[in-house]
Amino acid sequence: MEKQKISVRVNGKNYNLVSSDPPEYIRRVAALVDRRLQEMEIASGLPSQQAAALVCFNLADELLKARDEITELKKRMQKMTAEKRQE
């Protein structure tokens, strides 16, 4: 799929993104970021820039935990496959 420009609105600001992902997916990503920013600003009372940094840390934490879980599941699957072959 070729790259295309997609306009999204996050935290009241417009952003033009270029991606080869489908526009619906990019809009979902932007909506998640927007929602997380709004939640963080309300919960913390911090200025937008500090709230954005915290959202980045939280999303990075979720990403790394998900990657670790996928790696662990792959290892378990490989082990189970190897055990099955030995039967």
Tens of pLDDT, residues 58-71: 999 999 999 999 99
Q: What is the DSSP-derived secondary structure letter of residue 12? A: T
Looking at the whole model, is its pTM more than 0.85? no
* Whole-number pLDDT of residue 66: 98
Task: Count structural domains, the chain.
Answer: 1
Positive or negative, the CA dihedral 56, 57, 60, 65 is negative
* Whole-number pLDDT of residue 9: 97
E strand intervals along 1-87: 4-10, 13-19
* Spatial distance between the Cα atoms of 35 and 44, rounded to a whole number of angstroms: 14
Q: Could you tell me if 25 and 8 are in contact, meaning their C-beta atoms sit under 8 angstroms apart?
A: no
Which range of residues forms the domain containing residue 38? 4-86
Model confidence band, residue 81 (pLDDT cutoffs 50, 70, 90): very high
**pLDDT tens, residue by residue, 2-52:** 999 999 999 999 999 999 999 999 999 999 999 999 999 999 999 999 999
* Spatial distance between the Cα atoms of 78 and 19, rounded to a whole number of angstroms: 34
